[in-house]
Every structure is written in C-alpha cells, then in structure tokens.
Structure 1
Amino acid sequence: MEFVKTADGSKTLYHEEVGEHYHSKHGAHQESVHVFLNTGLRYWLEKESSGSASVLEIGFGTGLNFLMTADYCHQHQISLDYVGIEAFPLSQELIQQSDYGQYVADVIWESFVEKYPNAINSRTKLLDTVQVEVAHQKVMEFHSDELFDVIYFDAFAEIHQPEMWTPETLAHVCQFLKSGGVFVTYAITGNLKRAMKALGFSIEKAPGAPGKREMLRATKL
C-alpha cells in the first residue's frame, strides 16, 4: 500500500489488493470534513444541542475521519468517545506517513501517533475530552453494550466490498445506534435507501463531497 496525493493536496492510501483508495481521490480531507464531520457529527450536535458525542466508525483506516472529528471537538470543548472498527489496522509507521497532522492541532496529532498502538482493542485517552479505540475485528464480529450517537459508514465501495453493504451488515451495525442517532455515508443507492428504510430510519439525500452529487444521511426513529 502507498499514499497518493488527492485533488485537494491531502493524501489517501491506495489498497492494491482491494483496488480502491481509502478516501476520495477528488480530495481526501474535503471528503472527510464534508461527509462525516459536517453532515454527520455537526448535524447531530446542532440537533441535540449536546456537549458530548459518541461515534462509531465502520472502516477506521488511516484515522483521517477520527482526526477531523477529534480536532473539531477539541476546539469546541466537546467530549468525544470514538470507536472505529478495522479488520486490518495500519501500522504506526503508515499512520505517520499520512501527514494528516497539518490539518489538526499539534496536541491531537502527536497524541494520536504516540498512542495509536495502545488504542487497538483498548479505549485510550488522547486528551481529557477525547478517547478512541480501534476495534481490531471484522464488522460482523463487533459487539458492544454501548450505543452511539453517530455512525460513520466508511467501508470500501460496494463494487469492491459488497458484503459490507448487505441488509444483514447494515442491520448489525445500526443496532449500535441510539434512537435519534445519525448514520452517514458517502454513498447513496436505491438498495441502500431501501435497506435503511426497512431498518426504521428516516432518510435524506444530502449534497455529496467533490466528485459525488449526493450522499446519504439517515436518522434512527
């Protein structure tokens, strides 16, 4: 695997075996902020007027979505509890090569890089208000007594990883979302909309990140 530069200057990792990039080649940083932080977490925070949030990410990958979220919460004094499911965690060395430190406060980046190995399968405090865990397991093996406020669904595209987008996988993931919680993903298809409606979600089309016209946001009723 190797990092490549995307259209906004940020890097993404290309996974040769899967045949896909971890983030949009139209702009990794832009996509992360637009799809997950703004359309997901910030939307939920404004809706709930909350000073704390819990996020479950499907596909932790390079940690970009976590970093954008942690930095925002740090800036706005919001307490963040973050769990990312990742079947194949990256090495600490690869994480450092991402250069994502330029997009977040030094204290966030330095603590994340240092403590990343500790966070694999263990809830780890990065700052007083930010804790993270990388659950090293396949998504269908993940179980938790905790319910989350927001789900970031950032699996590889359905054409490359169809098993991640089945009604069964979506049902398994969404059982960990609170009532009123928000599910966001960069994709939007007829099958995805039908599956989310069947699970009892109110769905809406939201403007997509650069390179995509629309994306899905769904709220658990």
Structure 2
Amino acid sequence: MLQIIQTADGSNTIFNPEIGENYHSKHGAVQESQHVFLKSGLQYFLSVKEASAEIRKDVTVLEVGLGTGLNFLLSADFCTNNQIKLDYVGIEAFPLNTDLIKQTGYEQYISKDLWESFQGMYPSTINHKVKINAFCELELVHRELLNFESPQLFDVVYFDAFAAIHQPEMWGEEAIAHTVSFLKTGGVFVTYAITGNLKRQLKALNFAVEKVPGAPGKREMLRATKL
C-alpha cells in the first residue's frame, strides 16, 4: 500500500513499497522539484530564450512520471504568477487517486485557487487536455512511456522516472531516445540523475550535455539541450 511520508524539508512524498522507493527525494520533495525541474528546467529554458531576445509567454512541458503532480503544480504556479501560458502533458502508467494526492498537503506551496482547481479537475485530465486555470492546461496520459505518441513537440522534458536501480528499463536507450524524440530543437531535457551511460546516450542523440549542481542530497544532476 502506498504511504505518505515526510521528507527532510517538511514536505511530503509517497513511498511505494512494491518498488521500494519514494516518489521524491527523502532530502526534500519540494526542494528537489523546485531545483531540478522548475529552476534548472523550465526557468532555465525561459532565461535562455530571453537572453536571445525571444521573450516567451508560452511554454510546453512533457513530464515522464507525473506521480503526485508536484512538478506540474510548482510549474503552473510559476507560470500563472508570471502570466505565461503553460501546456503540460504528464505520462503516468499508474495514476494516483485524488484522495492520495490530497494527503500530500502541497496546497501550502502554491496558490489556493490553483490547488483547488487541480484537485477538482485532476480526474478529468486523464487522457484529456483540461484547462486548469486561465494560463495552464494539463493532460495526464495514462499509458507506459514506450506507448506514448504525440504530434506535439515540447520545449522542456522533465524526466522524473524512478531510479535506474528500481526501473532500469526507463533509462535504457530505447526509452531515452523515444522520450527526446518529442523535444523541439533547442529544447531542454532535465533529470535528477546523472550517469556516464545517460550522458553518452544523449550525446549520441545530438544533445549538448552539462552537469549542473544537484538538489540537496545529490552533488550533480543532468541537463541537456537538443542541437
């Protein structure tokens, strides 16, 4: 049975005893999400565009492993506050139920309106794109990664699968190549992990790969830009 547990920064995550892993870092669920995905992914992509004189007021994000929805919620809160249109698609083979997500207590980290809208509309987002508020749309694609298809290409990919020790198939060449095929040229791929194998895979797929400081508990993480 899935269990709510508290992480070191006071925010909650979910422990999956079947896999033997938390949905987020034990060192801080919200800290990890903010650092790895929001700051190093979405905000980095927007800052690069701004530096090149391309001011973006819309952005598309694909997440592998939607889980509790925390990465979406923090991204949606940022985009709403900055009046940026967010089109967000999350792939999730095992969607959580609304009651379990409510128990995470993530409402303290985002606006009340966004939390209430997400809670009310979450079931409707499964395999349907739903407007969560005036700026943010969400679709939860209920299928395994290799069965995901989309005519849409994305600006940013959040790769938030369980660790390779627990789900090695998610980090294999086929899974990574399939994931990044949905990324636009100039798009950014971010994940909390960094391994020599992952770096080699992405370089072979024509990505510029960089090591950047990791979230608490991890020295480094990986960010890659599609050339």
- Which digits, 9 at most, give the CA deviation of each residue in 1:166-214, with x for residues without a partner? 0110000000000000000000000000001011100000000000000
Identity %: 60
The answer to whether structure 1 residue 152 and structure 2 residue 158 are counterparts is: yes
Distance 1:65 1:175 in 2: 21
Query: What is the alpha-carbon distance in structure 1 between the residues aligned to residue 101 and residue 217 of structure 2?
Result: 25
Q: Which residue of 2 aligns with 1:4?
A: 5
Per the normalisation by structure 1, the TM-score is: 0.99
1:178 equivalent to 2:179? Answer no
2:128 alignment partner in structure 1: 122
| Correspondent of 2:96 among 64, 84, 90 | 90
Q: Which runs of 5+ in 2 are unaligned?
A: 51-55
2:112 paired with 1:106: yes
Give the match for residue 45 of structure 2.
44
Runs of 4+ in 1 over 2 A off after TM superposition: none
CA distance in 1, matches of 2:132, 2:199: 36
Q: Give the CA RMSD over aligned residues.
A: 0.4
Per the TM alignment, residue 128 of structure 1 is displaced from its structure 2 partner at its CA by 1.4
The secondary structure found in structure 2 opposite 1:127 is coil
Structure 1 Cα separation of the partners of residues 77 and 212 of structure 2: 23
CA distance in 1, matches of 2:139, 2:210: 29
Rounded Cα–Cα distance in structure 2 between residues aligned with 1:88 and 1:44: 29
1:56 corresponds to which residue? 62
In the alignment, structure 1 segments of 5+ residues that lack a partner are: none
Greater shift in the superposed pair: 45-54 or 180-189: 45-54
TM-score, normalised with respect to structure 2: 0.97
Displacement of 1:29 in angstroms is 0.3
- 1:135-173 Cα offsets, whole Å, 9 max, x none, are 000000000000000000000000000000001100000
Aligned twin of 1:28: 29
